[in-house]
Amino acid sequence: MIRVRFVSADGTRTTEAEAPPGMTLLDLAQNKDQPLEGTCEGQMACSTCHVIVDAADFARLPRASDDEEDMLDLAAGVSRTSRLACQIILDDGLDGLTVRMPGESRNMQGR
């Protein structure tokens, strides 16, 4: 199993989780009641699955695709280590991953 730690947006709460290899980070987060909508269910069309990866763990992730980067540009509260959780497939190399929820969710109206 791959252990993942979810940290709340304000940093005060952590949730420990375990996933079998091949599960996406988004599915695991939703199983653990993390506040990620994942509206488009992994189609890279919404950015509501945005998470901020711990800087110490970021280099362990495969690079984001151009499509993912484009979608992250639209997400609220992005940081240098932001990723889309639906695009992260958990494997043994990611054991111990820590990710934080972004601080605000984007209102798609009014753009």
Tokens standing for 47? 């950015």
The residue (of 31 and 39) whose beta carbon lies closer to ligand FES is: 39
**Least separation in angstroms between CB 13 and ligand FES:** 22
**Least separation in angstroms between CB 12 and ligand FES:** 25
The residue (of 19 and 71) whose beta carbon lies closer to ligand FES is: 71
Interacting residues toward ligand FES by CB under 6 A = 26, 38-49, 71, 84, 86
**Least separation in angstroms between CB 74 and ligand FES:** 10
The residue (of 56 and 70) whose beta carbon lies closer to ligand FES is: 70
User: For residue 5, how many C-alpha atoms fall within 13 Å in the half-sphere facing its CB?
Assistant: 10
Tokens standing for 21? 């290899």
The C-alpha atoms of residue 75 and residue 103 are separated, in whole angstroms, by: 11
- What residues have CB less than 8 Å from 110, skipping those under 6 apart? none
